C-alpha cells in the first residue's frame, strides 16, 4: 500500500519504520524540519532501540521518505495514519489543536474524484466522541456530498512502550480497529497482515476509550504496587517476596477476574480486609491514598446502581429484587450490595419483594444474622417464593446476580445490575 503518516514523534517514527519494513511505501509528514531531515538521512528522529536500522534500510530500499508539507502526498494513497500529539491542556483535557490542524490539511488535500475512499486512521489518544463530533464534521465541511465516498474514518489506538516499541508493534497485546459501523476496513486489514494478535473490530467510541482504560489501569497497578511496597517497608516485610506470591496467581490476581464492570464488591472478605489494611497503613504512616479511596468508590457505585435501577419509577411502585445474598447459592448477607440496594429501595418509598431461595432467615446466625437484622429488620416479611415472584405484577424486577436466569417472569421490565452490555 501507499501510506502517509502524519507526525514523526515516537509513535509516528516507529510506525513509519515498521510499516516500511513490511514492504509498504511510506511518506512521513511533520512540520518539524529536523525530523524530516533525520528520516531522509536514514536516521530515526527519536531514540528508540533498533529504529535507526529499520529507517536506514527503508530509505535504502526507497520505501520511506519524509516531507514538511502535505503537498501531493495523498495522491494514490490508500491509507493515512495520524500520529500527532495530544498533550495535556491547562484544564487536564487533551489539547486537540494539532489533531484539528492536521485533519483540516488532510481534508483539503483529498481529491473528491479519487477512485476509492481514503482510509484515515487516527492513533492519537483522544476523548470518546472526537471522531464523531470533531473529525467527521471537518471532512464533511471540506468535501460536502462527496465525503461518504471519499473518506473512511478509523480509530486505531497504539500500544507501544518506549524502548520496546518495535517489538510491541509486531507483537502487540491486541489490535483495536474502530469504525463507524464496527465492520472491518480493507486497508486496516491489509496493514495488519502477518501480525499475530487478537483483533477487536468495534465502534469508534469503544476504540477511542480503550487507551484511557489501559493507561489508567496501568497507573492503578503502579500506585497499588507502590502502596503495598510502603506497607511492606514499614513492617520490615520483603516486598519482592510478597509480589512474587501475588503475581504467581494468574487465576484471580493477574487475570480478567474482578475487572468486569458490574456489581459493587461486598461479602465477608473484601470490605473488611480493605478496612483493615487502610487502618494498618494509617497506623504505620504508609499513606495509601489509592486504597483509602476504594470503599468510597464502592459506595458511589452502589448509589449509581440504585439510580440506574429506579430510573423512571413512581414512588410507591412495587418492585422485585432477585438475589439478596452476596453470591447466588449462598446465604451470606454480610456486606452484600444487594442488602444495601434493598435498604435504599425501602428508604426511597418503594414496595419491595425479595426472591432468594438460598436465604432462610431462621437459619442465619452470627454476623450474618446481625448484618441482615441491622439493615433489613423486616426481611422475613419481604421474602417471596418462586411462584409469587413469577406471577405477581411488578413495576420492575431488579436482578443482582444470575439467579434471574432461573425465573420465568411476567414483566419484561428487568434491570440486571450485575451485567454489562
Whether 103 contacts 126, CB under 8 Å = no
Other Cβ atoms within 10 Å of 100 Cβ, number:
15
Whether 156 contacts 120, CB under 8 Å = no
Q: Which residues are catalytic?
A: 269
In angstroms, the CA 337 to CA 352 distance is 16
Whether 42 contacts 55, CB under 8 Å = yes
Q: Name the one residue in this structure whose C-alpha cell is 502477518.
A: 194
Whether 1 contacts 32, CB under 8 Å = no
Any idea what DSSP says for residue 157? -
For the record, the C-alpha cell of 270 comes out as: 473484601
Kindly tell me the burial class for residue 188, based on how many C-beta atoms sit within 10 Å of its own C-beta (0-12, 13-18, 19 or more): buried
For the record, the C-alpha cell of 10 comes out as: 515516537
In angstroms, the CA 12 to CA 25 distance is 14
In angstroms, the CA 7 to CA 34 distance is 12
- Strand, helix or coil for residue 177: strand
* DSSP string across 345-399: HHHTT-EEEEE-TT--GGG--HHHHHHHHHH-TTHHHHB--HHHHHHS--SEEEE
Other Cβ atoms within 10 Å of 282 Cβ, number:
13
Any idea what DSSP says for residue 134? I
Question: Can you say how many angstroms the Cα of residue 331 is from the centroid of all Cα atoms in its chain?
Answer: 33
Give 303's contacts (C-beta < 8 A, 6+ positions apart): 344
In angstroms, the CA 136 to CA 152 distance is 10
Amino acid at each position: 500500500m501507499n501510506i502517509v503518516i502524519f507526525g514523526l514523534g515516537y509513535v509516528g517514527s516507529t510506525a513509519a519504520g515498521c510499516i516500511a519494513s513490511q514492504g509498504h511505501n511510506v511518506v512521513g509528514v511533520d512540520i518539524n524540519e529536523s525530523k524530516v531531515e533525520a528520516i531522509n538521512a536514514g536516521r530515526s528522529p527519536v531514540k528508540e532501540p533498533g529504529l535507526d536500522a529499520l529507517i536506514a534500510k527503508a530509505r535504502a530500499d526507497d520505501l520511506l521518505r519524509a516531507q514538511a508539507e502535505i503537498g501531493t502526498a495523498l495522491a494514490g494513497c490508500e491509507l493515512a495514519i495520524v500520529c500527532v500529539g495530544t498533550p495535556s491542556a491547562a484544564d487536564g483535557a487533551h489539547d486537540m489543536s494539532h489533531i484539528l490542524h492536521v485533519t483540516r490539511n488532510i481534508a483539503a488535500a483529498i481529491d473528491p474524484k479519487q477512485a476509492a475512499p481514503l482510509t484515515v486512521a487516527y492513533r492519537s489518544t483522544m476523548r470518546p466522541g472526537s471522531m464523531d463530533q470533531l473529525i467527521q464534521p471537518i471532512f464533511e465541511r471540506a468535501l460536502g456530498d462527496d465525503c461518504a465516498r471519499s473518506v473512511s474514518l478509523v480509530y486505531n489506538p497504539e500500544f507501544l512502550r518506549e524502548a520496546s516499541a518495535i517489538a510491541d508493534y509486531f507483537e502487540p497485546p491486541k489490535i483495536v480497529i474502530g469504525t463507524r459501523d464496527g465492520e472491518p476496513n480493507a486497508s486496516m486489514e491489509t496493514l495488519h497482515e502477518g501480525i499475530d494478535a487478537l483483533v477487536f473490530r468495534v465502534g469508534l467510541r469503544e476504540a477511542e476509550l480503550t487507551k484511557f482504560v489501559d493507561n489508567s489501569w496501568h497507573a492503578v497497578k503502579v500506585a497499588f504496587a507502590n502502596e503495598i511496597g510502603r506497607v511492606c517497608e514499614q513492617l520490615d516485610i520483603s516486598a519482592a517476596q510478597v509480589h512474587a506470591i501475588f503475581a504467581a496467581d494468574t487465576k484471580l490476581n493477574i487475570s480478567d477476574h474482578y475487572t468486569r464492570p458490574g456489581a459493587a464488591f461486598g461479602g465477608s472478605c473484601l470490605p473488611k480486609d480493605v478496612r483493615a489494611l487502610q487502618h494498618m497503613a494509617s497506623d504505620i504512616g504508609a499513606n495509601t491514598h489509592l486504597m483509602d479511596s476504594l470503599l468510597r468508590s464502592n459506595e458511589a457505585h452502589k448509589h449509581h446502581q440504585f439510580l440506574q435501577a429506579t430510573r423512571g419509577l413512581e414512588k410507591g411502585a412495587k418492585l422485585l429484587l432477585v438475589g439478596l445474598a452476596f453470591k447466588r447459592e449462598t446465604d451470606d448477607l454480610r456486606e452484600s450490595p444487594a442488602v444495601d440496594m434493598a435498604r435504599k429501595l425501602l428508604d426511597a418509598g418503594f414496595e419491595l419483594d425479595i426472591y432468594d431461595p438460598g436465604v432462610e432467615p431462621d437459619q442465619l446466625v452470627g454476623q450474618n444474622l446481625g448484618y441482615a437484622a441491622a439493615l433489613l429488620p423486616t426481611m422475613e416479611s419481604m421474602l417471596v417464593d418462586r411462584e409469587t415472584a413469577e406471577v405477581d405484577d411488578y413495576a420492575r424486577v431488579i436482578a443482582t446476580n444470575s439467579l434471574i436466569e432461573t425465573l420465568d417472569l411476567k414483566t419484561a421490565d428487568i434491570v440486571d445490575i450485575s451485567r454489562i452490555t
